[in-house]
Amino acid sequence: MAKWGITAARILVAVAFVAPVYWILVIATGVRGSAYSLPPVFLPAFHFHALWTVLTQTHWLRYLANSVLITSVTIVCVLISSALAGYALAEVRMPGKQMFFYLIIGVMMLPAQALLVPQYVVMFHLHLLNTYAGLIVPFVANTSGIFLFRQYFMKLPASYREIARIENVGTWTYIRRVAVPLARPAVATVTLLTFISSWNQFQWPLIMTNSTAIDPIELALTHYMQTYQANWRELSSAALLAILPIVIVFLFTQKHIVAAVAGGDQGSKE
């Protein structure tokens, strides 16, 4: 009996966490006015009229494209910069390595909220306000990415590098053709983490842009809240579009994401 109760409690708790995400679908695809029905309607009606309106009569496709562009370019850049720096920390003998180590870790200690004002000044003087580059460049270096790659590169046998040296293979080629392919789990983890943080980016674009042409979706959503304030179906449909890519990726990579975000062994390694 007690065991049955515990199982029920676990399922109830898990469902409560997912319920709000499910509720977006219910409101977005409900029949007109169903958001206001009392008692509430608990099942989605799958009326995609509101979603269609959002896609065809607004600039929503543009915002989606902006987010896709910003996210994909950021991912590629983070992978390159992290792999290079990770390799330097793992394999290259150089003076002052300790200092670089602390500089890379130190970035994580800086409270991001407190830096926005001076960062805005820097962005202003570099002419990066209101540009795609301004939404990408500050995020192309990533401490956890660097350390992940370093960790995998340190596990590579020293003999691989010796062979490369004897065969006269250049460092760049070695990183690209040997080291990175062997660090595939690091590539996957960095890609997923960057995807999540870049796709969910909100405060930075809010401050650093004021033209709707380059808005990523999260920022565009706050503008929608003004325009569609009372139209819950349209607003929820727009939110659904922002959430869907994340939820789809999460469904397929949940174990990996959980392990990546929390770090370490989460019982996810088979």
Partner 1 sequence: MAIAIERPRSVLRNRLEPILGFGLLLPSMLVFLVFFYAPAAFLAYISFFHWNIFTSQSQFIGLGNFLILFAQPLFWQALFTSLYFAAVMVPAATLLSLGLALLLREGIRSRRGGVLRSMVFLPHVTPVVATSIIWIWLFDPQFGLLNSILGFFHLPQPGWLASTHWAMPAVIIYSLWHSLGLYTVLFLGALATLPRSVLEAAQVDGAKRWYLFRRVILPLVSPVTFFVVVLATINTLQSFSQIYALTGGPHGGAGGPAFATTTDSLLVYQTAFLYQHFSLASAMSLMLFILILGLALMQKWVADRFVFYR
DSSP string, 182-249: HTHHHHHHHHHHHHHHHHT--HHHHHH---GGG--HHHHHHHHHHHTTT-HHHHHHHHHHHHHHHHHH
The residues in 7-36 that bind partner 1, with binding defined as CB under 8 A, are: 9-11, 13-15, 17-18, 20-21, 23-24, 27, 35-36
Q: Among 1, 2, 38, 158, which residue sits at the site for partner 1 (rule: CB under 8 A)?
A: 38
The residues in 71-100 that bind partner 1, with binding defined as CB under 8 A, are: 80-82, 84-85, 87-89, 92-95, 97, 100
Structure tokens at 2: 């007690």
Structure tokens at 123: 């962005």
70 counts as binding partner 1 under rule CB under 8 A: no
Please report which helix (H) or strand (E) contains residue 160, including its range. helix 158-166
Query: Which string of x and - marks every residue 181-210 that binds partner 1 (by CB under 8 A)?
Result: ---------------x--xx-xx--xx---
Q: In angstroms, give the least distance from the CB of 149 to partner 1.
A: 11
| DSSP code of residue 137 | G
Alpha carbons 255 and 268: distance in angstroms, whole number: 6
Query: Which string of x and - marks every residue 121-160 that binds partner 1 (by CB under 8 A)?
Result: xx-x-x----------xx-xxx---x--------------
**Of the ranges 51-59, 104-112, 150-158, 178-186, which one interacts with partner 1 (CB under 8 A)?**
104-112
User: How many Cβ atoms are within 10 Å of 239's Cβ, its own excluded?
Assistant: 21
The residues in 208-247 that bind partner 1, with binding defined as CB under 8 A, are: 217-219, 221-223, 225-226, 232, 235-236, 239-240, 242-243, 246-247
Alpha carbons 69 and 80: distance in angstroms, whole number: 17
Q: Among 5, 118, 157, 211, which residue sits at the site for partner 1 (rule: CB under 8 A)?
A: 118
Q: In angstroms, give the least distance from the CB of 23 to partner 1.
A: 5
User: How many Cβ atoms are within 10 Å of 87's Cβ, its own excluded?
Assistant: 23
Which phi and psi (to 5°) does residue 14 adopt?
A: -60, -45
Q: In angstroms, give the least distance from the CB of 42 to partner 1.
A: 9
Structure tokens at 162: 């010796």
**Count of residues of this chain found to bind partner 1 when the rule CB under 8 A is applied:** 99
Closest to partner 1 by CB, 14 vs 154, is: 14
Closest to partner 1 by CB, 55 vs 80, is: 80
Alpha carbons 246 and 195: distance in angstroms, whole number: 9
Nearest Cα to 70, choosing from 144, 133, 13, 12?
Answer: 133
Closest to partner 1 by CB, 118 vs 157, is: 118
Q: Among 171, 185, 188, 231, which residue sits at the site for partner 1 (rule: CB under 8 A)?
A: 171
